[in-house]
Amino acid sequence: MPAYHSAFNDETSARQVGNMAILPINTKVRGPAPLAADPSQPDIIEESLDLFRANCLFRNFEIKGPADRLMIYLILFISECLSKLAPTPGRPSPGYQEALKLLQTQAVDTFALPGDAGFPLNSLYHAPASRMDADALRSYLTQTRTELAIRLVDRLYPHEQVLGADGQPTGQVGARANKPSKWWMSFQKRRFMGRSLTA
């Protein structure tokens, strides 16, 4: 079974910095990302979240376009976020609010860009052509990382269903789960393409 590729590879009008696509996203986070023409359609962040668990099982991935490079980056960032929320001896997994703060901080922390010495995927990515392009890419990735962190926490801590007296769901939305979903956290040690953004 082959890995899943981005549906946005066909977007020929998307701007590129280096060889990474700058795609529209649906967000309220301020930044330089173009706004999606149709907010009801999934964007690259939604696509990355949907394909994360399937794609992170693959060690090899054939890049078919600039949107694939952005998707690879976002999938690796999801892995980094899951590792940040993993319980350690003496420290349980955080609750919803603490997880949101941790991941939003992680999103805006200093990170390497393609072409920097600390960027682990330099063999697959071209460096930005100028300092202005590098600043634009850093701003765009900060915005997408922040939006991805918000959406990831919403998936990790779903609302619990309210049960009626008969034990059946009432259709009402309850409080958020107090621990991250085990279906997501079971992928924390998986490394898409055997890579990580931090090493």
Residues 6 or more apart whose Cβ sits within 8 Å of residue 48: 71, 74, 75, 78, 148
Range(s) of the domain holding residue 42: 5-192
141 located within any domain: yes
Domain count for the chain, please give it: 1
197 located within any domain: no
| Confidence (pLDDT) at 199 | 56
199 located within any domain: no
Read off the CATH number of the domain in which 62 is found. 1.10.1760.10
Q: Is the pLDDT of residue 148 over 90?
A: yes
Residues 6 or more apart whose Cβ sits within 8 Å of residue 30: 143
The structure's pTM equals 0.90
CB 127 within 8 A of CB 66: no
Average pLDDT of 146-170? 85
| Confidence (pLDDT) at 170 | 75
| Confidence (pLDDT) at 1 | 57
33 located within any domain: yes
pLDDT digits (tens, 9 = 90+) for 23-34: 999 999 999 998
pLDDT digits (tens, 9 = 90+) for 85-110: 988 888 888 989 999 999 999 999 99
| Confidence (pLDDT) at 97 | 93
| Confidence (pLDDT) at 180 | 87
